[in-house]
Structure 1
Amino acid sequence: MAGLGSTILSIISPKSKAKSGGVSATGTFNPQQTQNVLTAPQYQDHLTDIFSSRVSDDARTLMVQLFEHDPDVSAAVSAYLTMANTQPVILVRDLEGEIDREATKALMQRIKFMTVPTDYTKGFQMKQTLEQWCEEIRYMILLRGGAGIELVFDEKMLPADLRNVDLNSVEWFEKKAGDYKPRQKVSGVTGGINLDIPTFFVAFYRQNPTKIYSNSPFVSTINTIAARQQVINDLYRIMQYTGYPRMEVKVIEEVLRKNMPVNVKLDEAKQNEWINARLSEIRNSVQDIRADTAFVHMDSVEPGIMNEKSPGAGIDISKVIETLNAQNQAGLKTMATVIGRGQAGVNTGSVEARIAAMNADELNGPVSSILANVFSFMLHQDGFQGFAEVNFVKGELRPELELEPQLTMRQSRLLTDLSHGLITDLEYHLQMYHRLPPENAPELSGTGFMNPAPAGEEGGTRADEVSPNSDPLGRSLAPEGSKMAKSKQVKKPAK
């Protein structure tokens, strides 16, 4: 059995070394224009009407625009990223599942060198922290339904960075059943870039198991957002015509005909032309007039307000907007309280906030999977026989000071378990402080430090010596060395 276990649990290194600088391309890289300035984004994308653009663009392009310009989608994305941004806990375990303290420290040191510039001869370096890596992976999961990461090595063949690969640019091949191989489409590269390399890692978020191509979990909001956009556009037009008071100018035709030139009165065709010309003159002089500008007119013109009594009269659009908002919220997989539409009581708001936090915790699952594979590969490159483990602390919406009583109760329970040897010192520190214990921390598991001293032993108290009158005045609480602590009875004041 030992031979069989060692064969199954063996870790096989890749056949060839990783390429320095990586092989994948970023979303902004163009190998044909490496000396040109990167194209700046169009800052008028907010003028795009999704009701018409959804016909010409595909869902992946639309989601990029909605993430930036739609208020509901951007609010949901921001809420997910904020609640899922919790502390990562990184450990290294050997093949037997035991935590390796030294390997964990070495891995954390390697990660630190990947996130901080160390070779300043290279000039500007855009190094990202571990928290930024995690946020980037979460963002791509929400945008694409999955994330692709390549572990990049430097010229010394040491891990240097994690490169995000947009899954929108990845094509998949299935030459064998269930054996998928990726290739990246890059502008200017014929045939694309082969990503069938051991340093490329992918994780999906609630992926359809019958498909390999993922999609954003928010893609179901496109039709609802487009319908809401159409309703809002119609509402704008209605407001322009009926929503605001409009000036009305009444032209008295009888007065115009009395002041008509004599040569025009004799020709009926000229009369109509002359009257239309006067109407055009009045229209041009009135249509651009401001509300605070005086309007001087003759008695042939009577100005007024067309809908001054009920300017807001029209259809009730609120029910339509509420229905579309509810559908939009469902498509975003979020709660009304999170995107600012909560109308229920405090209890409902608390439940919604709790569900939102649980959804955010689920988002960390693919992040843990990718980082665990990346860090395990780094360990295996150094010859370590084991695996990295990445977990995230569960999201908590309550402030730290409010959590102190609950943390105190947890600490008391864990200390009791530690005293009885039910948990190890490592487990205690991981559950309480989300880190390994300090080097000089004493080993307390199973020592019984929480048990009271047995009766009759040194330092203990006999049961027959305990009575309510043993310390009625609380002298045991007096400061050590004081006279009250030494006194055995209450002294009467001197006469």
Structure 2
Amino acid sequence: MASLGKAILSIIAPKKAVKKGGLSATGTYNPQQSQNVLTAPQYQDHLTDIFSSRSADDARTLIMTLIEQDPDMSAAVNGYLTMANTQPIILVRDMDGEIDADATKALMQKIKFMTVPTDYTKGFQMKMNLEQWCEEIRYMILARGGAGVELIYDEKLVASDLRNVDLVSVEWFERKPGEYKPRQKVSGQTDGIDLDIPTFFVAFYRQNPTKIYSNSPFVSTINTIAARQQVINDLYRIMQYTGYPRLEVTVVEEVLRKNMPANVRMDESKQTEWINSRMAEIRNSVQDIRADTAFVHMDSVEPGIMNEKSPGAGIDISKVIETLNAQNQAGLKTMATVIGRGASGVNTSSVEARIAAMNADELNAPVSAILSNVFSFMLHQDGYQGFAEVSFVKGEMRPELELEPQLTMRQARLQTDLSLGLISDLEYHLQMYHRLPPEGAPELSGTGFMQAAAGGAESRADEVTPNSDPLGRSLAPEGSKMAKSKQVKKPAPKKAAA
């Protein structure tokens, strides 16, 4: 039955050979302008007002802009990427689920050759290491709700790179129920690029199971950010009118009329026109005056300050801002401590930090799924009957020195299980050091080394005390009475001299 099961679960190679250089296009590639320099971005996006641009731009475009522009969004993304950046654990298991140490080492060598330049005749090569691959996938998951990568092979048909494919450019076809086929939209190509290839891999994060197109987990915060932007714009306008002291100029109409020309006094319409002209002249000379500039005037003008006693008087906007900040935090799926708004006690901050670390661990699940499929494909191309398994160490926000006592207790517990044969040597090294055992490491599973280290001989019940050698009596010479003494004996009194 075992051989029949293996035959049924055998891995079938693709019908066509993989294409060197890959098929997909990057977000910056334009086939019609491949010889031109890439367009540099305009670094004035910070002037964009999301309250007005959200009605014109796509939600996916707004999310990318907000990740770079909005402080809360940027802090949330940075917090996710920092806490999720933990050590990856890569293993290879055969069809029986057992860890294959030799295949794991061979796979690690292939990954290493993918992440460093090896053919220096090609000139500059932008190679990314495994940590940068993982960060790029996490970034796209936060921005798009999913990530897609293509495994790239070089001219020698050796795996050489992972290419990020923005899911915004991917269209999906469902020709059969539950069977989706991707195609990438590329500028300059009407039919696009068919990505129905075995080297293209996709994973989603908290995906709506009734849809194939994904959304960023932060899309629910767009309206809140826009509302907060509108409130801030209103605050700017309020501050311009009521927040600062404003110059007030009073024109004495009686003085103006005394200095009015004789031909104007006889006509009321000319009087009004003449007075309005003088008012306009005064306004033009005063409206651009600076606070440190002298204002020279005649007795027909009386300058003053309009709101010098209470320039900051106005509505209390703090409650509105606090409400919008709370809604913004909920839309970002993050904790107040992470984005710099933690105002509660130490216990609340600790709970928030723990929840933030758990959320970051969940972000690593789609990264593990993509890399497991990529590395398994690499193994299958070499004819290996098995699978790669990628996982990540759980996030921990405490420093290493603070964790040392807990790690020591874990080591003692795992060594006891290893001594009794309850776990294997591979499991011990993976749980303790997150790696395979080094070459030449002894196999200790089931050897009972912990009992041997404890002394081996059985202890007598009357020799066991609650205080296990508190005074260091085990350091006494062998065979002396002090070694077995349970109390301090007083020296005998000296005899009196005769």
- The answer to whether TM tops 0.5 is yes
Unaligned runs of 5+ in 2: 483-490, 492-498
Match of 2:253 in 1: 253
- Deviation track 1:358-400 (CA, whole Å, cap 9, x = no partner) reads 0110000000000000000000111111000000000011111
Question: SS of 2:107's equivalent?
Answer: helix
Moved over 3 A (4+): 452-455, 460-477, 484-491
**Contact preservation (8 Å) 2:51, 2:229:** yes
Q: Distance in 1 between matches of 2:402 and 2:250?
A: 69
Q: Distance in 1 between matches of 2:68 and 2:250?
A: 48
Q: Distance in 1 between matches of 2:22 and 2:299?
A: 83
Whether 1:99 aligns to 2:96 is no
Question: SS of 1:27's equivalent?
Answer: coil
Q: Distance in 2 between matches of 1:467 and 1:136?
A: 59
Q: Within 5 Å, which residues of 2 pair with 1:141-152?
A: 141-152=141-152
TM-score between the two structures when normalised by the length of structure 2: 0.93
Match of 2:448 in 1: 448
Match of 2:358 in 1: 358
TM-score between the two structures when normalised by the length of structure 1: 0.93
Match of 1:396 in 2: 396
Question: SS of 2:90's equivalent?
Answer: strand
**Contact preservation (8 Å) 2:418, 2:446:** yes
Whether 1:336 aligns to 2:333 is no
Q: Distance in 2 between matches of 1:384 and 1:341?
A: 51
Q: Distance in 1 between matches of 2:226 and 2:318?
A: 17
Code of the residue aligned with 1:249 in structure 2: it is: V
Code of the residue aligned with 2:77 in structure 1: it is: V
Question: SS of 2:220's equivalent?
Answer: helix
Match of 1:186 in 2: 186
Which segment is superposed worse, 72-81 or 286-295? 286-295
Counterparts in 2 of 1:445 and 1:467: CA distance versus 1, 3 Å: closer
Code of the residue aligned with 2:130 in structure 1: it is: L
Question: SS of 2:54's equivalent?
Answer: helix
Q: Within 5 Å, which residues of 2 pair with 1:366-381?
A: 366-381=366-381
Deviation at 1:45, TM superposition (A): 1.2
Match of 2:472 in 1: 474
**Contact preservation (8 Å) 2:418, 2:425:** yes
**Contact preservation (8 Å) 1:92, 1:387:** yes
Counterparts in 2 of 1:119 and 1:321: CA distance versus 1, 3 Å: same
**Contact preservation (8 Å) 2:6, 2:95:** no
Number of equivalences: 483
Counterparts in 2 of 1:174 and 1:467: CA distance versus 1, 3 Å: closer
Code of the residue aligned with 1:463 in structure 2: it is: R
- Deviation track 1:189-232 (CA, whole Å, cap 9, x = no partner) reads 12000000000000000111111111111111111111111111
- Deviation track 1:48-100 (CA, whole Å, cap 9, x = no partner) reads 11111111111111111111111111111111111100000000011111111
Question: SS of 1:151's equivalent?
Answer: strand
Match of 1:463 in 2: 460
Q: Distance in 1 between matches of 2:108 and 2:320?
A: 54
Match of 1:481 in 2: none
Q: Percent identity?
A: 81
Match of 2:263 in 1: 263
Code of the residue aligned with 2:343 in structure 1: it is: Q
Code of the residue aligned with 1:101 in structure 2: it is: A
Code of the residue aligned with 1:347 in structure 2: it is: N
**Contact preservation (8 Å) 2:169, 2:185:** yes
**Contact preservation (8 Å) 1:147, 1:167:** yes
Q: Distance in 1 between matches of 2:338 and 2:156?
A: 47
Code of the residue aligned with 1:88 in structure 2: it is: P
Q: Distance in 1 between matches of 2:88 and 2:204?
A: 19
Counterparts in 2 of 1:467 and 1:423: CA distance versus 1, 3 Å: closer
Whether 1:281 aligns to 2:278 is no
The RMSD of aligned alpha carbons is 2.3
Match of 2:85 in 1: 85
Deviation at 1:485, TM superposition (A): 5.6
Deviation at 1:8, TM superposition (A): 2.1
Counterparts in 2 of 1:99 and 1:357: CA distance versus 1, 3 Å: same
**Contact preservation (8 Å) 2:143, 2:216:** yes
**Contact preservation (8 Å) 1:475, 1:485:** no
Deviation at 1:293, TM superposition (A): 2.2
Unaligned runs of 5+ in 1: 478-483
Question: SS of 2:171's equivalent?
Answer: strand
Q: Distance in 2 between matches of 1:439 and 1:338?
A: 42
Q: Distance in 2 between matches of 1:102 and 1:87?
A: 21
Match of 2:160 in 1: 160
Which segment is superposed worse, 183-192 or 230-239? 230-239
Match of 1:223 in 2: 223
- Deviation track 1:98-144 (CA, whole Å, cap 9, x = no partner) reads 11111000000100000000000000000001000000000000111
Deviation at 1:242, TM superposition (A): 1.2
Counterparts in 2 of 1:235 and 1:443: CA distance versus 1, 3 Å: same
- Deviation track 1:256-298 (CA, whole Å, cap 9, x = no partner) reads 1112222332332332222222222222222122212222222
Deviation at 1:465, TM superposition (A): 9.8
Whether 1:53 aligns to 2:50 is no
